[in-house]
């Protein structure tokens, strides 16, 4: 595997570094004949890696984030002697859930940003933390096992969690990641992706096209750069830096023929 030739198609240093790390994992897999995994990846990174592995015809891999609806996931690659089903029995060796239960007087006080900020305050890299499922009385935080002991020793020392109950749970017991949504009503000229991104990102259509060209938009968890792509009811739209949205329904039209749509924003 010639790394330089394989990385020639990638535009920036971050992409090259990510692909190089994946190739290193494949080399480790071959030499050790053991399951390998990466840190947590965002949607863009998952899409980039998925396309790369398909390009080199590598088949023994999948992405896992604790539940099917997880956004941040790790890449898991496994040796040919194993099936994917066999590899999936090893998730508890890689990830765990940190469960935080707040006292009654703090119910509903903390959002996703506050939980993530607390973890970052401890000096932990974002790549070691997966999805954070926020609930009125606390949160479930998916983490790499390598930081689990440190988190359990230090989270309680933070003022915001000093009166909270903190415990761990096996990742295999996490059946569903709970998400909170805010319903929004939008009026768009058409169901083209650039129009909808313009509305959701609260920016001009020209800027929306730039965001698409920068590969910051995901349609159903895949990078989409085509401004004229039609968006359908049920589609999930993710805009890096702006959030994730679900196109729920078309409720009508204005007198000028614009579409009135309902969108759920994940919070």
Q: Convert the pLDDT of each residue in 124-142 to its tens digit.
A: 999 999 999 888 889 999 9
pLDDT digits (tens, 9 = 90+) for 53-74: 999 999 999 999 997 778 899 9
- Where is 113: in which H helix or E strand? helix 112-121
Residues 6+ apart with CB under 8 A from 259: 187, 188, 189, 190, 191, 250, 253
- Segments forming the whole domain that contains residue 133: 94-173
Number of domains in the chain: 3
Same-domain pairing of 8 and 30:
yes
Final residue of a structural domain among 107, 141, 173: 173
Find out whether 61 and 37 touch, Cβ atoms under 8 Å: no
Final residue of a structural domain among 88, 122, 140: 88
**Mean pLDDT of the region 182-186:** 94
Final residue of a structural domain among 28, 61, 88: 88
Q: Is the pLDDT of residue 88 over 90?
A: yes
Distance from C-alpha of 23 to C-alpha of 3, rounded to nearest angstrom: 8
CATH number of residue 144's parent domain: 3.30.70.330
Give the rounded percent of residues in the chain with a pLDDT score beyond 90: 75
């Amino acid at each position: 595997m010639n790394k330089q030739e394989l990385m020639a198609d990638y535009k920036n240093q971050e992409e090259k570094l990510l692909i190089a790390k994946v190739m290193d994992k494949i080399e480790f897999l071959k030499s050790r004949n053991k399951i390998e995994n990466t840190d947590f990846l965002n949607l863009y990174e998952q899409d980039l890696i998925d396309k790369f592995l398909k390009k080199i015809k590598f088949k023994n891999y999948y992405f896992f984030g604790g539940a099917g609806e997880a956004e941040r996931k790790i890449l898991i690659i496994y040796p040919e002697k194993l099936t994917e089903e066999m590899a999936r029995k090893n998730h508890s060796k890689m990830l765990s859930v940190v469960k935080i239960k707040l006292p009654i007087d703090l119910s509903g006080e903390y959002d996703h940003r506050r939980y993530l900020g607390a973890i970052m305050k401890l000096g932990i890299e974002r790549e070691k933390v997966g999805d954070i499922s926020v609930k009125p009385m606390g949160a479930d935080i998916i983490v790499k096992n390598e930081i689990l002991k440190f988190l359990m020793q230090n989270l309680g020392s933070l003022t915001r969690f000093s009166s909270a109950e903190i415990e761990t749970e096996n990742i295999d017991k996490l059946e569903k990641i709970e998400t909170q949504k805010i319903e929004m009503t939008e009026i768009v000229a058409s169901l083209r992706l650039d129009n909808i991104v313009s509305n959701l990102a609260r920016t001009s259509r020209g800027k929306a096209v730039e965001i698409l060209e920068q590969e910051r938009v995901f349609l159903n968890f895949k990078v989409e750069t085509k401004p004229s792509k039609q968006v359908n009811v049920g589609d999930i739209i993710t805009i890096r830096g702006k959030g994730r949205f679900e196109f729920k329904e078309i409720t009508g039209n204005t007198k000028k023929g614009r579409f009135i749509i309902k969108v759920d924003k994940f919070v």
